[in-house]
Structure 1
């Protein structure tokens, strides 16, 4: 009897392989990515100082950068002629003007226990680690930091930064030791940044309006009419807590996901639910739910992450439009070890199988320094699994000076070889879960874009599970499948 059931199970997945998906990612819908729609952040006061903003601080008097020695855990100085990691601080936003600053080793900048000297030794943030940032109205790059003792920080010498400058913030001259130049070197515009930036009173309406209008049933109609037969929907870990998730996330996204299943069934589209943002952040990027860019997901988060997969599988297993659940998007090496990832993937797979024997389980390959075949042996022991790879001719110096034909040749040669590596006869299916028609080529023509997109469709069409374009909508036109279809660049 057991072997008979296994045969039926194997036949189901073999039949389902017959027509690989032509899919699109509904990015920036239920997981915010500010680069795709930056105007949604416009209503936030000090919108350039959101959670996770990486800043460097230069004393105008000393013309040197502030530094947490050894990256934290010891003294604080103002003696660096140029900034690097030890001189870079990550903001935790309390409100519009009050912040904590986190250093490389994850301690917080604050006042020493007794006295007014600045240190970076605390693993938690309280009053001594909270600062009021005051900006010069005429030049917002000039700032002062008021500490919890009411005094301003000042750098009187290169070896000591103290909170003992009184008076008002009236003077902004270079000679004033309490004036610093703030240099923003990285920003994050994800779910944490938008909810905490707007705050609990405004964020629910901003996001509810976004969820209700960004993707509608008409979009599913458009996709179906243009031969797109699946959508990959990025979601965050907080969706399992909806409608009362932990601060700063807000409710409503779960209803939007429910709607997507209804629309998908109406228009004959399959749904891939993708856990894009895991609690603790699996890669440190804004789309992974990171507060400050640190990658902190690991063994201690496995149980909670599996609970999210369990929640999604239980809720949608019986929906006829469910095609697959992806256990995690873009875990990154070396921060996440392969042993930890496989431990999670095994538990996540079992959570899905509790509710469904037909939904595929998608395992994302690690980004970074990792063997693209490292999951094949593990996945070959499971039924109905898919290996997800993401291919962009971007984000690497090797593409910077490639011309149009070189990019196209790279797809036909290198990407074809890469895909063959993870496409096996009897093992897991392969899925190019993200790709785009954008590149670094300058002075390109419409015909160049058409050829580049066609080359990717041809090569990625060999993936046994199919491909998914990033993304459906984006303010940068060539990232938008909708725009590419309407402008005759891509023909799915």
Structure 2
């Protein structure tokens, strides 16, 4: 009996010693992650699924579309003199910033025109002359773009008073034309050039409008990513998903217009499916109010980067909401505080203040979830956050690597792209991976590269090179994206067609 009692005590002591170790090993077993981004699901990116926009009238004139207008009579472009704050003229032989207008869509055919200095075009005072000096759009700043049936880029611009904008002379642009006709000599005729378009969450919801957008978005959320997709991911070697969300999710089910409710339920579903298939979820605040980079994936209305110090508290509220909601969910791996802030518009000091406040918000609800900090894009030191992050617990630095979007990649052949991964990217990963600091995470990468015409074997070699190198990141990597109309950007397609095997 004594021997049995001694043995039982010994076993109890032994188990108490190894239990914490086992738990720690279990907690760490999924790190580094092999993950995939669920892009274009809860934050729309139109290039990934263009057909989603097909039902929108004038779908090429969404919010943020940049347009230029050349008078067919004068053969000169409309311009906001000095970039805004004074008259609109028609005396430019070529078009650049001051001659470019960003659309704010009011309905299918009516718009506000925002100029370079962010004012709006409107009818000045009690006269008829057109000015660009309003800080907020109203009826006087609302115009209908009437397109020619045979040539949709030949347009007339109609004010709410029923009269048309005309270029009387190079220095006199007024709203007082009553005539008709599409002839070149008509001073109210303009050739419209579309310079750039945006197709993000703001564009799709405002484009479809309040009556149609809720159903369109719910149908998309319910079909684009499903339970079966999580099963596919899990069975093919992935153990985590990175899910981009927008700031409006914190106000679901009644977010500010034009956003529509329902994305929060979709995120809840993702957590349920992740638990079912033994996966982890990285929640990524991809779009912040004011836009941190001006890109369509930031939820911007017109492409201006306007997030700054005044937005910190409102953005922390979103992080607090997400942390509180999912803190006790066993599938939560991490919360990313912001995606791709752009330097120098987002200053390092402002970003650190935001990161500290948001880190504190997460830690208020969970001591164990990782907090992910995004490096700034643009002219920024990739190691600029390391010293700051060393003072925080369970923190990750997120970097994004694409052999795209830069002229240096345009003429690289396949082997040069692969060599760049093994040389430069390996060095980049090493620079942000420290023994006594935050973990490193390649949060976005893809098998696509700039120079086309490559073979299947070339793509396989390029993808495998990146997997080899990015496995050196201590928090792991996440492919962009799970689904995409462009095949090499779609990990699902790449796996199904034997380009990638994990």
User: C-alpha displacement at 1:17, in angstroms?
Assistant: 7.3
| Contact 1:12–1:358, Cα closer than 8 Å, also in 2 | no
Structure 2 partner of 1:84: 96
CA displacement, residues 174-222 of structure 1 (integer Å, 9 cap, x when unaligned): 1111000111111111110011101000000000000000000000000
Question: In structure 2, how many angstroms separate the alpha carbons of the residues matched to 1:119 and 1:459?
Answer: 55
TM-score by length of 2: 0.94
Greater gyration radius: 2
Structure 2 partner of 1:58: 70
Question: In structure 2, how many angstroms separate the alpha carbons of the residues matched to 1:281 and 1:431?
Answer: 23
Structure 2 partner of 1:107: 119
Partner secondary structure for residue 339 of structure 1: helix
Within a 5 Å distance, the mapping from 1:29-44 to structure 2 comes to: 29-44=41-56
Within a 5 Å distance, the mapping from 1:164-179 to structure 2 comes to: 164-168=176-180, 171-179=181-189
Structure 2 partner of 1:134: 146
Structure 2 partner of 1:264: 274
| Contact 2:400–2:444, Cα closer than 8 Å, also in 1 | yes
User: C-alpha displacement at 1:128, in angstroms?
Assistant: 1.0
Question: In structure 2, how many angstroms separate the alpha carbons of the residues matched to 1:289 and 1:14?
Answer: 37
Question: In structure 1, how many angstroms separate the alpha carbons of the residues matched to 2:409 and 2:182?
Answer: 44
User: C-alpha displacement at 1:18, in angstroms?
Assistant: 7.1
Go from structure 1 to structure 2 and tell me whether the alpha carbon gap of 1:145 and 1:13 turns closer, same or farther (over 3 Å shift): farther
CA displacement, residues 442-464 of structure 1 (integer Å, 9 cap, x when unaligned): 32111100000000000011000
Structure 1 partner of 2:36: 24
Structure 1 partner of 2:9: none
Q: Does 1:331 align with 2:354?
A: no
CA displacement, residues 52-84 of structure 1 (integer Å, 9 cap, x when unaligned): 000111111111111111111112111111110
Partner secondary structure for residue 144 of structure 1: strand
Unaligned runs of 5+ in 1: 1-7
Question: In structure 1, how many angstroms separate the alpha carbons of the residues matched to 2:430 and 2:126?
Answer: 63
CA RMSD of aligned residues (A): 1.4
Question: In structure 2, how many angstroms separate the alpha carbons of the residues matched to 1:99 and 1:397?
Answer: 35
Go from structure 1 to structure 2 and tell me whether the alpha carbon gap of 1:13 and 1:173 turns closer, same or farther (over 3 Å shift): farther
Partner secondary structure for residue 98 of structure 2: helix
Structure 1 partner of 2:295: 285
Structure 2 partner of 1:297: 307
Question: In structure 1, how many angstroms separate the alpha carbons of the residues matched to 2:175 and 2:189?
Answer: 12
Question: In structure 2, how many angstroms separate the alpha carbons of the residues matched to 1:298 and 1:14?
Answer: 40
Go from structure 1 to structure 2 and tell me whether the alpha carbon gap of 1:17 and 1:158 turns closer, same or farther (over 3 Å shift): farther
Dislocated runs of 4+, deviation >4 Å: 11-15
Question: In structure 2, how many angstroms separate the alpha carbons of the residues matched to 1:89 and 1:398?
Answer: 31
Structure 2 partner of 1:255: 265
Go from structure 1 to structure 2 and tell me whether the alpha carbon gap of 1:421 and 1:14 turns closer, same or farther (over 3 Å shift): farther
Structure 1 partner of 2:286: 276
Go from structure 1 to structure 2 and tell me whether the alpha carbon gap of 1:354 and 1:125 turns closer, same or farther (over 3 Å shift): same
Q: Does 1:384 align with 2:394?
A: yes
Structure 2 partner of 1:486: 496
From 244, 247, 264, the equivalent of 2:254 is 244
| Contact 1:17–1:464, Cα closer than 8 Å, also in 2 | no
TM-score by length of 1: 0.96
Within a 5 Å distance, the mapping from 1:358-437 to structure 2 comes to: 358-437=368-447
| Contact 1:17–1:465, Cα closer than 8 Å, also in 2 | no
CA displacement, residues 321-377 of structure 1 (integer Å, 9 cap, x when unaligned): 100000000000011000000000000000000110110000000000001011001
User: C-alpha displacement at 1:149, in angstroms?
Assistant: 2.5
The number of residue pairs the alignment matches comes to 482
